[in-house]
């Protein structure tokens, strides 16, 4: 079994046999599922006995992760007899795929003799573009089309019998427009007929919305699939309409505006924010979007005087008023008026300009040791009329004070400052801390960095490179020093005759922090050992590495083999 770590995007599985880089070669007897990562052996042989390690590789970064070793042994209490195939790996009962993608279906069976895998499409033919891979255990269909859908069967067969599995391949397509809507202008009392059409599998269903709200059938309004009919339109029918076509795999929208040419300007659908608070130097945009037909003309006044455009002040094409580099002189009441031949309407907003907020987070950079504490101070200088709210982040993410209450505490001693208390600091608390101050006018932030020193992490995978009757040569990958240089490593061993893990003598006697291999000495002959490595730095000793695979020292007096006979 292979339990991969969380990952994104796709990963590739392979298995190491005994020692890296000896990989398991897939054939009719051995199969690695790229769905689960598990390794399956149809008929276990003596040559399969050993240690297996699952290797997971990221297809984008080529990063690799190794699982702990898994031993495979043969039982000595019997001989496996022949038996009919048992399908151990198969594709789901229902396989769904988007048109144009590649489909891979897996099928592998255990059995003795080793089963043969064959594929068929029930009531049809397997597409000619399909490919059989991994000794026919994988059926791959590239650029899948609607015609490729159907019932597929994989069959496992040997001299003792056969077994099969069937599953349905369903090919879907996202909705796609065949006919969209067009903007329409109508006189009051005229009929409206709009139709939208879309293709897709499953066949799309339709819904209608007006101004973002679902449209319901009424006396004058009829909706049948993609057809919308409104009898005797009036001013209340004006607005933005959307036709929504959707199936279980996606949704698409078609939009159009219906204009009824008999409406005076109104702000009912676009209420203006009554009070706009900004800080000096900011850009101010006051929206003005009256509804009306024909389109209202827009004019602006500040108090009772018309607003004059210049390099800093402009009326945008949508009617909004924009002011750059706001100053105290821009404070006041602004009136937007929309007017057409049927009437006029106006809306008022008040602009208030405040001093910009400033912030300072101290200390800026601090080095700490695991277990120590620190207080970060965040001070805000702001307009006295504005309330401020403080927010704390670590590595860009909000700090959860309820979850991390044992280590983090936010202290608000004064109205314009806040402290972040970090107690009993851990390695995981290192990083960039952010303080953000939010007012109704602006938001500013500052950062500080904490560097945390601690004991080393565990060294990487330990490999036994050479074994004799009294020695074992080991290698490992360096441990993380956690900001304090590694001063030494020591080797530990465990055997059935020891009381847990014991430090062993080594050559060299002292293994310095820059070394990645050493020899364990004074071992006992013909004893099974496991080895692990522990790193130490000035802060302390870290966690041990994952144990090596178990290995037996040579027999006493053992020299080698002469032909098939051991020489002592």
334 plus 399 within the same structural domain:
no
Give yes or no: residues 257 and 296 share one domain.
no
Residue finishing a domain among 153, 173, 193? 173
Tell me the backbone φ, ψ of residue 352, rounded to 5 degrees: -125, 130
Statement to judge: residues 342 and 369 lie in one domain: no
Does 344 share its domain with 380? no
Distance between CA 459 and CA 514 in Å, rounded? 12
22 within some domain: yes
pLDDT at 62: 84
Separation between Cα atoms, residue 413 and residue 416, nearest integer Å: 9
What tokens does 67 get? 């699982």
For residues 118 and 143, state if they share a domain: yes
- Please tell me the distance from the alpha carbon of residue 175 to that of residue 246, in angstroms, as a whole number: 6
The pLDDT tens digits for 193-202 are: 999 999 998 9
- Looking at the domain assignment, is residue 4 inside a domain? no
Short-list 290, 282, 284, 291, CA closest to 307: 284
In angstroms, what is the C-alpha Rg of the chain? 37
pLDDT value of position 508:
96
Assess if residue 166 is contained within a domain: yes
Domain tally for the chain? 6
Are residues 447 and 383 located together in one domain of the fold? yes
Q: Is residue 477 part of a domain?
A: yes
CA distances from 432 to 104, 113, 442 (A): 44, 61, 22
Judge contact between 108 and 136, C-beta under 8 A.
Answer: no
* Structural domain boundaries enclosing 397: 358-453
Query: Which residue carries 């004893």 as its tokens?
Result: 527
Task: For residue 77, tell me if it sits in a domain.
Answer: no
Structure tokens at 16: 């190491």
Q: How many angstroms separate the CA atoms of 43 and 31, rounded?
A: 11
140 belongs to a structural domain: yes
Asked if residue 424 is part of any domain, the answer here is yes
Is the domain of 195 the same as that of 251?
A: yes
Do 46 and 95 fall into the same domain?
A: no
Same domain, 308 and 322: yes
Can you tell me whether residue 161 is helix, strand or coil? strand
Q: Which residues pair with 411 in a beta bridge?
A: 419
Same-domain pairing of 94 and 159: yes
CA nearest to 15, candidates 153, 425, 213, 34: 34
**DSSP symbol at 190:** -
Does residue 1 belong to any structural domain of this protein? no
Q: Which long-range contacts (CB under 8 A, 24 or more apart) does 477-480 make?
A: 477/516, 478/516, 479/533, 479/535, 479/542, 479/545, 480/456
**How many angstroms separate the CA atoms of 75 and 171, rounded?**
46
Q: Read off φ and ψ for residue 288, nearest 5 degrees.
A: -145, 100
pLDDT tens string, the chain, 568 residues long: the values are: 787 767 666 889 999 998 888 899 999 999 999 888 899 998 888 888 999 999 999 888 888 888 888 898 887 776 778 899 999 999 999 999 999 999 999 999 999 999 999 999 999 999 999 999 999 999 999 999 999 999 999 999 999 999 999 999 999 999 999 999 999 988 777 899 999 999 998 999 999 999 999 999 988 999 998 999 999 888 889 999 999 999 988 999 999 999 888 778 999 887 777 889 999 999 999 999 898 777 789 999 999 999 999 999 999 999 999 999 999 999 999 999 999 878 899 999 999 999 999 999 999 999 999 999 999 999 999 988 899 999 999 999 999 988 876 899 999 978 899 999 999 999 999 999 999 999 999 999 999 999 999 999 999 999 999 999 999 999 999 999 999 999 999 999 999 999 999 999 999 999 999 999 999 999 999 999 999 999 999 999 999 999 999 999 999 875 554 444 444 4
Comparing CA positions, the residue from 452, 442, 472, 444 lying closest to residue 547 is 472
The answer to whether residues 257 and 288 belong to one domain is no
At which of 34, 52, 72 does a domain end? 72
pLDDT digit string (tens) for 163-214? 999 999 999 999 999 999 999 988 777 899 999 999 998 999 999 999 999 9
Lookup result for tokens 């004070």: 401
Say which CATH number the domain at 166 has.
2.60.40.10
* Residue whose token pair is 């650029």: 143
- Examine the domain organization and report whether 41 and 122 are in the same domain: no
Query: Could you tell me where the beta strands, DSSP code E, fall in 213-290?
Result: 213-214, 221-224, 227-230, 239-247, 250-260, 263-266, 275-279, 284-286
Please identify, among 353, 377, 405, the residue that sits at the C-terminal boundary of a domain. Answer: 353
Cα 539 to Cα 370: distance, rounded to the nearest angstrom: 8
């Amino acid at each position: 079994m292979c339990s991969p770590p969380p990952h994104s995007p796709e990963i590739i599985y392979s298995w190491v046999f005994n020692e890296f880089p000896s990989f398991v070669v897939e054939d009719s007897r051995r199969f690695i599922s790229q769905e689960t990562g598990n390794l399956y052996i149809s008929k276990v042989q003596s040559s399969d006995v050993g240690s297996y390690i699952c290797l997971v590789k990221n297809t984008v970064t080529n990063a690799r992760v190794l699982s702990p070793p898994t031993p495979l042994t043969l039982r000595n209490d019997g001989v496996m007899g022949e038996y009919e195939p048992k399908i151990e790996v198969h594709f789901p009962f229902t396989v769904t795929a988007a048109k144009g993608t590649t489909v891979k279906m897996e099928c592998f069976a255990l059995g003795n003799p080793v089963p043969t895998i064959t594929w068929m499409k029930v009531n049809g033919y397997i597409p000619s573009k399909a490919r059989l891979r991994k000794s026919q255990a994988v059926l791959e269909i590239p650029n899948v089309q609607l015609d490729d859908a159907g019932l597929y069967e994989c069959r496992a067969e040997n001299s003792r019998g056969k077994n099969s599995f069937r599953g349905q391949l369903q090919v879907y397509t996202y909705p796609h427009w065949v006919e969209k809507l067009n903007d329409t202008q109508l006189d009051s009392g005229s009929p409206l007929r709009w139709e939208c059409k879309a293709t897709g599998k499953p066949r799309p269903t339709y819904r209608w919305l007006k101004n973002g709200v679902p449209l319901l059938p009424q006396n004058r309004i009829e909706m049948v699939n993609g057809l919308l009919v409104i009898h005797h339109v009036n001013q209340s029918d004006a607005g933005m309409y959307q036709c929504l076509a959707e199936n279980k795999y996606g949704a698409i929208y078609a939009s159009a505006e219906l204009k009824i040419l008999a409406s005076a300007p109104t702000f009912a659908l676009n209420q203006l924010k009554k009070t706009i608070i900004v800080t000096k130097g900011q850009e101010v945009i006051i929206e003005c979007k009256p509804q009306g037909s024909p389109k209202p003309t827009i004019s602006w006044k500040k108090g009772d005087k018309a607003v004059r455009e210049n390099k800093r002040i402009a009326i945008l094409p949508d009617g909004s008023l924009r002011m750059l580099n706001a100053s105290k002189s821009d404070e006041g009441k602004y009136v937007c008026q929309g007017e057409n031949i049927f009437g006029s309407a106006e809306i008022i907003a008040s602009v208030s300009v405040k001093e910009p907020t400033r912030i300072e987070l101290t200390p800026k950079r601090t080095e700490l040791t695991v277990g120590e504490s620190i207080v970060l101070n965040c001070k805000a200088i702001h307009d006295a009329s504005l309330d401020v709210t403080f927010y704390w982040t670590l590595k860009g993410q909000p700090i959860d004070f309820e979850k991390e209450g044992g280590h983090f505490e936010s202290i608000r001693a004064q109205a314009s400052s806040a402290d972040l208390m970090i107690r009993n600091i851990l390695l995981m608390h290192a990083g960039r801390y952010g303080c953000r101050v939010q007012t109704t006018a602006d938001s500013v932030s500052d950062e500080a960095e904490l560097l945390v020193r601690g004991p080393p992490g565990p060294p990487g995978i330990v490999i036994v490179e050479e074994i004799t009757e009294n020695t074992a040569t080991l290698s490992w990958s360096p441990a993380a020093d956690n900001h304090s240089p590694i001063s030494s490593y020591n080797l530990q061993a465990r055997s059935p005759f020891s009381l847990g893990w014991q430090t062993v003598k080594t050559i060299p006697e002292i293994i310095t922090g820059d070394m990645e291999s050493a020899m364990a000495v004074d071992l006992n002959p013909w004893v099974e050992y496991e080895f692990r490595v522990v790193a130490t730095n000035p802060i302390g000793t870290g966690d041990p590495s994952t144990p090596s695979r178990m290995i037996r020292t040579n027999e006493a007096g053992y020299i080698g083999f002469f032909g098939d006979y051991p020489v002592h």
